[in-house]
Structure 1
């Protein structure tokens, strides 16, 4: 009897809405007068700052003072942090802030959501590797760790507890078709049965951390796999750079009398690159929709259960493909900035409204669009489905989404050292704006609830209507039986979740939601 495993997942990395903007200290050495005020190393008692103190100083100024040149030039009086007015005056160079990360974490604690009594901001962070742009903008995987200097192996995995055999088991959640793992045929539902020759898995924190680092954070890993048919193979996977293919699976399914397009997107890499040319992402999405249109589908399932977001251009592209003709030229979504930025948004070329295309690129006539969601569905993924709700029937099946109606402007922070060499410090992702759809709906900080709850059974391959609870429920809904579950899908031997090993299943990597149009607009405004 086929066993099904319930993924116990938590979102440990935050997806985001972002705009890329590059920022650096224009002096050879950033200095301070001792009160946290920037100086120019003018010999009046100022002291050159360390790289970490420079990062703290510049980060604080971008968020709380102004976004250009440490607050000294054209943007004087324009703080960028969405909740800047909740943060008290802080000396960013105070010794109690041992790092810029500690300072950022402190600043994020002040704006409290009255509905939850907890801080709004559990999203902001510093990216110290600078690995996001190539993946998100150009659709090319990039190194994310010191060990894996040339990309990654291109898969993510989940864990479940086998109560019958009293052991933890690992299953592939998805694999990029163009990645090292994808090229040897690895896909969802494959079980990882050995890691570098070790087939004895346990639930100790030591083992789970070692397994996570070996699979996702190493330059090479040898993995043993078991396919759903029981056959096995072993492959040595070397982390590599590849053209991202966000479409992990696509198919035309038959549900009752209806033809249903189904595709899985695990990330939102951009549909256009830094030169404005189409990427592999656009090609993959176009191929799926060409297949759907040719098949004459009248319902669509977009599986975003592992999609933490990505480039805003891809969210908009999908919305234009899915939306009905009645949405042409109408509002897709709105940006909302803090009061000071909002007041001058037009003069500094900050976009405030995005409209649907005046054409009908998808050419589909859909009765319903279903989104398979989970606690890992975040940011640009949430934006995609929220944008469509004013114009068509949108149904969510799975679990409540992550909850991120706010986004980032990506500030690339650098300094110049004593040799006049530019030194990269970090990319700052601190919340800068919120989004709402054409009906003014947003603010989903606790997530967007589904119409039907379904479990994520991680050893079930993509597109399996019988055993994937999400697809099983949609199938029954389209047959006129409501969101019921077929008995066979419920009576299989199920593995209970085990919260003690939840940390073993955190999603790999970070995918922001980057709007490079705004980047260009803001940079032009600074010239």
Structure 2
């Protein structure tokens, strides 16, 4: 059972990659990484390849789909992707879109804990006009205290140029990611069009720790006391810390919600690509109605070999993760929860939606979620000789009703798409929050529900990029066939 416990003890439902990367118009790459041209790997590479193959055969969820005779002459990265189940078959929604590998395991682990080299921007990409090859960047939010925040950038800003160059479909990937110092040329909406301004914001990327607990508020409207939480990644605490600072912050917020008699909840997960399942369990346990530590939050299913081992040892109860008894739980005051979603709402965020559905009404507002009903673990070499790190899928999750049918994402109950001109998060007229408030209070507002700004073709977002894992979106040209 040692292998099973090693897997279970570090279980993630992870969908976060490294850095603020670009996205293409698809949620998956067209091709796996190209094989190395080297036909005979070095001794060091062969050692890495043996390590990759041994671990993947042991714990990979689709280990029965690994080729019987993989080409171990490939470079490590290429070998890894050659092992993945149906990786290139975009017609199969159940394929492995999520496993990835990195040459530096420490960088991998840091990014999964919200620490990475970044400007602090989370963004969305558009064509500047229908049929154009020019690109603009919309700022979705700015990490407080980050270099971008210090430079005065804010949600809703529009970037049209980087380091003096206009953004186009052929250069925006490199211009927006490769420099360390960015001169962001800003634009604005004028008479329904994007026009350049003379404003330039200079930002230098640095290693920065994200605090995922972004914003919380309580709104009192008539008899409704509405709790609102913007939560952007499931991280217990800062990278390298043994103190679950961010989990504790969530507990403090729900203590406040309970004390103030919150009877409606709006959970904003539109920018949350996933993270630790432990944080997901804690959050769900403060929301769920009629739940306690005897009720199933989710159940895991591992590969056939591990499942046989678990059943043989009579340890099937260990496949079930139950809710926790939390004094901060506000479920007794709730009949429903509103969850704000986007195409980057993934994995641990989707686990919240799926896990709460058997116990209360979950109303989603926004876009179809990413569709990640599987989880991964970080694998590193215990001897330290191999510096690579892998994040392979090792399990599939099911809720208390045995449901796991969201590999293509959860379609929104109320469909919305974030406009180009946005209100600040927490503003009652902000489109997504305003829509939830209207549903709660039984009112409607054309001013809230109407799109603002020109309707431009969307290329993708950095949130979706992180949701796919660090191997996703290798092809950054959205116009390439």
User: Which TM-score applies when normalising by structure 1?
Assistant: 0.70
Q: Once structures 1 and 2 are overlaid, which stretch shifts more, 121-130 or 301-310?
A: 121-130
| Deviations 1:470-489 (CA, angstroms, capped at 9, x unpaired) | 223322222336xxx63334
Counterpart in the other structure of 2:69: 90
- The worse-fitting range, judged by mean Cα deviation, of 297-306 and 115-124 is 115-124
Residue 192 of structure 2 is matched in structure 1 by none
**Offset of residue 348 of structure 1:** 11
| Alpha-carbon distance change, 178 to 285 in structure 1, aligned in 2, over 3 angstroms | farther
For residues 57 and 490 of structure 1, the distance between their equivalents in structure 2, rounded to whole angstroms, comes to: 55
Contact kept in structure 2, 1:268 and 1:511, CA below 8 Å: no
Deviations 1:254-275 (A, max 9, x none): 5564221112222222248766
Counterpart CA distance in 1 for 2:449 and 2:241 is: 50
Q: In structure 2, do the counterparts of structure 1 residues 183 and 10 end up closer, same or farther at CA, with 3 Å as the change threshold?
A: farther
Structure 1 residues 168 and 134: CA distance shift in structure 2, 3 A = closer
Which shifted more, 301-310 or 51-60?
51-60
Alpha-carbon separation, structure 2, partners of 1:8 and 1:463: 29
Q: Displacement, 1:309?
A: 0.2
Q: Distance in 2 between matches of 1:120 and 1:53?
A: 27
* Equivalent in the alignment of 2:329: 362
Contact 2:232/2:271 (<8 A) preserved:
yes
Q: State the alpha-carbon separation in 1 of the partners of residues 198 and 393 from structure 2.
A: 46
CA contact (8 A) 2:125 2:137 kept: yes
What CA deviation, in whole Å up to 9, does each residue of 1:266-301 have, x standing for no partner?
A: 22222487664222x234424433443343221111
Matched, 1:317 2:296: no
**Deviation of the 1:433 alpha carbon:** 0.7
1:395 aligns with 2:363: yes
1:434-490 CA-partner distances (Å, limit 9, x unpaired):
11111111142111222111112253121334351x223322222336xxx633345
Q: Is the 8 A contact 1:255 1:475 kept in 2?
A: no
SS in 1 for 2:286: helix
Aligned to 2:48, the other structure's residue is in SS state: helix
1:210: which partner in 2?
Answer: 174
The equivalent residue for 1:180 is 147
- 1 CA distance for matches of 2:405 and 2:428? 33
1:452 maps to which residue? 414
- 2:97 corresponds to 1:122: yes
Q: Deviations over 1:348-384 (max 9, x none)?
A: 9894111111343334522321111122111111112
Computed over aligned residues only, the root mean square deviation of the Cα atoms, in angstroms, reads 3.7
**With structure 2 as the length reference, what TM-score do the two structures score?**
0.76
Aligned to 2:439: 477
1:241 is paired with a residue whose SS is: strand
Q: Aligned residue for 1:54?
A: 47
Q: Within 5 A, what are the aligned runs for 1:99-498?
A: 99-110=75-86, 117=92, 120-130=95-105, 131-137=107-113, 141-142=115-116, 151-163=117-129, 168-192=135-159, 194-196=161-163, 198=164, 201-206=166-171, 208-213=172-177, 217-224=178-185, 234-254=200-220, 257-271=223-237, 276-279=242-245, 281-345=246-310, 351-363=318-330, 365-413=333-381, 422-460=384-422, 461-468=424-431, 470-480=432-442, 486-489=445-448, 494-498=453-457
Q: Secondary structure at the match of 1:305?
A: coil
Q: Is the 8 A contact 2:335 2:361 kept in 1?
A: yes
**Counterpart in the other structure of 2:476:** none
SS at match of 2:392: strand
What is aligned with 1:72? none
| Equivalent-residue separation in structure 2 for 1:318 and 1:265 (angstroms) | 10
- Secondary structure of 1:440 counterpart: coil
* Cα distance in 2, alignment partners of residues 203 and 362 from structure 1: 48
Find the structure with the greater CA-based Rg.
1
Q: Structure 1, residues 54-82: CA drift from partner, whole Å, max 9, x if none?
A: 22222122112xxxxxxxxxxxxxx2121
Mapped to 2, the partners of 1:10 and 1:359 lie a distance apart of 40
Asked if 1 retains the 8 angstrom alpha-carbon contact of 2:65 and 2:85, the reply is: no
- Provide the rounded CA distance (Å) in 2 between the counterparts of 1:282 and 1:335: 23
1-structure distance, mates of 2:27, 2:87: 22
Counterpart CA distance in 2 for 1:386 and 1:504 is 24
Gaps of 5+ in 2: 1-22, 30-39, 190-195, 470-481
Does the 8 A contact of 1:268 with 1:309 survive in 2?
yes
Deviation at 1:250, TM superposition (A): 2.4
Change (3 A) 1:164 1:338: closer
User: Residue 227 of structure 1: CA displacement?
Assistant: 9.5
> Displacement, 1:251?
2.2
